[in-house]
Structure 1
Amino acid sequence: MKTLPQATLIYLVRDGQILLGLKQKKVAAGKRSGYGGKQESGDVSMHHTAVRELFEETGEGISAEPHDMIPQAVIDFTLKNSEGNHFAMRVFIYLLEKFSGEPCDSDEMKDHQWFDVDSIPYDNMLVDNQLYLPKVLNKEYFTAEIVSEAGEVVRADFVQKTKEEIQELFSTY
């Protein structure tokens, strides 16, 4: 895996449901998404980045402990648009089942809703979500490289990993 800027993506799950917000900014603006963002210089680990980003994107409504973040996958995403611009990021994906509070609107996310895991609104999410999110929700461990162009996935390579291999990848950042 090549060196890319790092970010987190957290999916909150409980009672057979997943919490998704409506992104207000950046690459997924106007789409449903999990919570997360870029690692900042003050973050001591990806787990801490995940906790901070979750708190910020839920309007300081949901809090969690770093040790409750469940590492699931590392995905290198590349999104290319029709103007030739592209976005590339290494994303560390977590499941979170233990948390407190309720989401509030923030400048980054609003309209937080719980969806049954068998009724996820993939038609209002980035196109790559339907490829990797079922694997995350099934608690599979993997790395992947996903390339999308003009809203279509043009390449998706998945490599199954063990829990220990994923934990080791997360601990190096």
Structure 2
Amino acid sequence: MPAAKVTLVFLLRDGEVLLGLKKTGFGQGKIVGIGGHLEAGESSTSAAVREVFEETRVRVEESALEFRGTVNFRFPNRPEWDMNTAVFRAFSWHGTPEETEEIKPAWYPLDQLPLERMWQDASHWLPWMLDDLTGYPEGEMKEFTERHFTVVMAADQQNVESVSEK
């Protein structure tokens, strides 16, 4: 069974990121990024635009999406959960985030991400996708380049077995 194609979009403003409390389905009760599965024939950018609107009622233009990289999630004991995720961020959009059936959105300071309420893997890749310089040794400044991670989840489906980067 091939991995599902998924998108995540992180809206950023004034040192904050929009995340959401997942109210239904996969990840219910966790703080998650905004996004979801691609529909048949859909590109990752058009899916990202659609999912942001469906989950928050915010309109983001495809041209505002900045591709950050990929995170491929592997669930060895539940391969039907495997996902290949395209990650974007955006600094402009139209509207104010609203609660929907699926997501209760909230703004979080970038320096205080609610990692303890997210999937355990988030600490391994999320800071690098949000910030241009995070993760480099102190004093070493580098330009952002796309990052590509593979996260293998442990048998309990909650903890991380391994994380690798291409």
Partner of 1:63: 59
Whether 1:123 and 2:116 are equivalent positions in the alignment is: yes
- CA shift at 1:39, angstroms? 0.5
Distance 1:34 1:100 in 2: 18
Q: Is 1:148 aligned with 2:157?
A: no
Deviation, structure 1 residue 152: 1.5
Residue 92 (1) aligns with residue 86 (2): yes
- The residue matched to 1:118 in structure 2 has which SS? helix
The one-character-per-residue Cα deviations of 1:101-133 (angstroms, maximum 9, x if unpaired) are 1111111101x2111101111000000111101
Q: One-letter code of the match for 1:47?
A: T
Aligned length: 151
Q: Per-residue deviation at 1:27?
A: 2.4
Tell me the alpha carbon deviations over residues 134-157 of structure 1, each in whole angstroms, 9 at most, x when there is no partner. Answer: 100123411111011222111101
* Superposed displacement of residue 4, structure 1: 2.1
The separation in 1 between residues aligned to 2:73 and 2:127, in whole angstroms, is 17
CA RMSD of aligned residues (A): 1.7
Deviations 1:22-50 (A, max 9, x none): 0122321101111101111252x211110
Give the equivalent residue in structure 2 for 1:8. Answer: 7
Corresponding position of 1:171: none
Any idea what SS the aligned residue of 2:74 has?
strand
Amino acid at match of 1:51: V
* TM-score normalised by L of structure 2: 0.85
Q: Which amino acid aligns with 2:92?
A: K
Which aligned pairs between 1:14-93 and structure 2 lie closer than 5 A? 14-43=13-42, 45-58=43-56, 60=57, 62-79=58-75, 84-86=77-79, 87-93=81-87
Quote how far apart the aligned CAs of 1:85 are: 3.4
Structure 1 position 3, deviation (Å): 5.0
**Percentage of matched positions with identical amino acids:** 29
Correspondence for 1:169: none
Q: TM-score, with normalisation over the residues of structure 1? A: 0.81
1:151-170 maps to which residues of 2 (within 5 A)? 151-159=158-166
The 8 Å contact of residues 76 and 144 in structure 1, kept in 2 or not, is answered as yes
Q: Distance in 1 between matches of 2:68 and 2:11?
A: 13
- Partner of 1:134, secondary structure, is helix
Amino acid at match of 1:104: E
